Structure 1
Amino acid sequence: MANTVLKTAGISSQTQPQERIRRLVWKLSVATLLLMAIGSATRVMNAGLACPDWPLCYGQLVPANQMNLQVFLEWFHRLDAGLIGLGAIALAGLSWWHRRDLPNWLPWASTFALFLVLFQGILGGLTVTELLRFDIVTAHLGTALLFFCTLIAIGCSLMPYWGTGNAGRLPWVGLAAAVLIYLQSLAGGLVASQWALHQCLGVAQLCGVMNGHILGVVPATLMTLGVVALAWRTSALNPILRRLAYWAGFCVVAQIGLGVATFKVHLQVEPLTVAHQAVGATLLGLLVALTVLGLRDRGIRHLSQSRVLGN
């Protein structure tokens, strides 16, 4: 009876392995966000090839003799990536080992996350060996964002959640906004990896790439603001969903401001560019979290209706 009440209220009973995995997932999420910020700093500081070999750096685990800011950024980026890789292996291993006590989908989701990390490692090596080829660099960013979204989705699916069943269309609008933000992030990756802003302002080349990213701001922003408006108008909405929507609105406004500032200074202020990347990834994570929790909220409503019809 107690388990039935908990499930009806939207709270899944938490086993010890599930709680341990949930904590690991959130730690990996934070580490991945940090990794993407460091990767952005590595790019804007022209440190992408500071370590000319891979996976070692100057043939060493710690290149103490060659260490400077650029080498440190590239070396620390690889160190963080390696630690995340170990964490992803642990996540998949724990999920399969305790699969009898976990939701059926969790081992497969963890395996998918591990696959993304392995693929990301291959792309990381190719980024160096192919001398920062723009399509590989963009795919590297896209895979990192997809891994980040996967972790957020797993974490939100495992967390205790009290739903009200009033989410309505909110998760679907949130999903559409997340897709648009992801595509906009890839467009930004193309701009950054080809130095399209410098090319366009300097020699009038690659302006189409830059303008495509600028125009992409419009649908992504409107859809995100639609999430905010829908959350504001929905009565008796779970406070978590409302806060996620409002934070997404704050992030999209901040992202536009950072983008304009980055354009005005022609990418000459590195912290602005790094913040632009970090806020974009945070915005994407907020929308994914809102979508997953919103779908759980809708599931509670459908469960309640089924129970009423059954009675």
Structure 2
Amino acid sequence: MTDSAFRSSSVLTPTTDGSQPQVWLRRFIWKMAIAVFLLMAIGSATRVMNAGLACPDWPLCYGQLVPTQQMNLQVFLEWFHRLDAGLVGLSAIALLGLSVWWRQSLPRWVPWASGFALFLIVFQGILGGLTVTQMLRFDIVTAHLGTALFLFCTLLVMGTALLPHNGTGTARRLPLLGMTATVLVYGQSLLGGLVASQWALHQCLSRSDRCWVMNSHLLGVVPATLATLLLVGMALRTPALHPSLRKLAIAAGSLVALQALIGVATYRLHLQVEPLTVTHQAVGAALLGVLTVFTVVARRDLASQP
């Protein structure tokens, strides 16, 4: 894409608050993003509590919509995870319907993006079923997480692109740095999912097996952290930077520091503290989300440069 085309993109140009349908849809998308974030946290809790096969069948649980007789903590986690996923799926259908209904009042890309989000949720549902029928096969579990993270980022891009924004045109190289950091953190999240789905830390410490998986995740910390810290440093040193970008950069730096502390604690405790392990995954997803929003805002800011 040429520079002129990039700046003229309807997704990136500065906007006012928009029409009422656009405001309603934007709020709906942000709520969906929060729901997907919570869905990933519940999914992480389901995994660390060994509840991934607590419901032996799919899509029902023990052949019922609500398995009241078999209900315990593990069954509840797996059942509630599916319930939340179903609500997110219905929300995606509603999002597509509203996008098409209000298409005259929305940017042209919104219905297409909504359709893509629905596709991701359908694909995510298929992977969710396969995780049960294929007995938690590690590659399917990792793909399940990767799709959820990609859906989360897609909704954040849509919601951020629909926000009103009057840029200062000072972002310069920040969009490229933001995209680089986002991709590296996404890749690191996938490595973390691979470690979790193969129980690599436990096997490495007890039998010296699958240490290469664990070491790949540990080595992946370096480029992802350096790219994020470089982004934060560049943002804070950029004069007249938009306040939103400065706040997002500070949030990214804080999340990196917090994630490092939680990661060390998780490793030292050998994944024995379940809430800490869930928090580790949630903070990683939050960091990915902040970097995604930063990148979109930075690109829109760059597009406002005269």
TM-score, normalization by structure 1: 0.93
1:62 lines up with 2:66 in the alignment: yes
Question: Does residue 79 of structure 1 match 2:71?
Answer: no
- In structure 2, the residue matched to 1:34 is 38
- Structure 2 residue identity aligned to 1:31: A
Partner of 2:8: none
Instruction: Report the alpha carbon displacement of residue 100 of structure 1 after superposing the two structures with TM.
Output: 1.5
Which segments of 5 or more consecutive residues in structure 2 lack a partner in the other structure? 1-10
Deviation of residue 96 (structure 1)?
A: 1.3
Q: For structure 1, list consecutive stretches of 5 or more residues without a partner in the other structure.
A: 1-6, 306-311
Letter in 1 for 2:98: L
Contact conserved, 1:174 with 1:287, CA < 8 A, in 2?
A: yes
Give every structure 1 segment of 4 or more consecutive aligned residues whose post-TM-superposition deviation is greater than 4 Å. Answer: none
| RMSD between aligned residues | 1.3
When the two structures are aligned, how many residues end up with a matched partner? 296
1:257 maps to amino acid: L
Deviation, structure 1 residue 81: 0.4
Say yes or no: does 1:289 pair with 2:300.
no
**Equivalent residue runs for 1:91-130 within 5 Å:** 91-130=95-134
Structure 2 match to 1:213: 217
Asked if the contact 1:9–1:163 (Cα under 8 Å) also holds between the matched residues in 2, the reply is no
Q: Give the direction of change, closer, same or farther, for the CA distance of 1:130–1:15 in structure 2 (3 Å limit).
A: same
Q: Output one character per residue of 1:110-142: Cα deviation in whole Å (capped at 9) or x when no partner.
A: 111000000000000000000000000000000
Q: Which of the numbers 226, 234, 241 marks the counterpart of 1:237? A: 241
The residue correspondences of 1:15-30 to structure 2 (distance < 5 A) are: 15-30=19-34
Q: What are the Cα deviations for residues 207-266 of structure 1, in whole angstroms up to 9, with x where unaligned?
A: 000000000000000000011101110011111100101100110111111111111011
Q: Which amino acid aligns with 2:303?
A: G
What SS class does the counterpart of residue 57 from structure 1 fall into?
coil
Which of 155, 161, 168 is residue 165 of structure 2 equivalent to?
161
Identity of counterpart residues, as a percentage?
Answer: 67
Residue in 1 aligned with 2:282? 278
Cα distance in structure 1, aligned partners of 2:50 and 2:227: 34
Query: What amino acid does structure 1 have at the position aligned with 2:129?
Result: G
- Report deviation, 1:13: 4.8
Inter-partner Cα distance in structure 2 for 1:299 and 1:111: 26
Distance in 1 (alpha carbons) for counterparts of 2:217 and 2:291: 20
Q: Is the 2:179–2:292 Cα contact (8 Å) retained in structure 1?
A: yes
**Which one-letter code corresponds to 2:287 in the other structure?**
L
Q: Taking CA–CA contacts closer than 8 Å with sequence separation of 6 or more, which of the two structures ends up with the larger relative contact order?
A: 2
Match of 1:246 among 242, 250, 261: 250
* 3-state DSSP of counterpart to 2:304: helix
* Cα distance, 1:8 vs structure 2: 12
- AA aligned to 1:232 is L
- CA positional deviation for 1:267: 0.5
Counterparts of 1:85 and 1:172 in 2: how far apart (Å)? 32
Larger mean CA deviation between 51-60 and 10-19 belongs to: 10-19
Shift of 1:182: 0.2
**Structure 2 residue corresponding to 1:139, chosen from 129, 136, 143:** 143
Preserved CA contact (<8 Å) 1:171 1:294:
yes
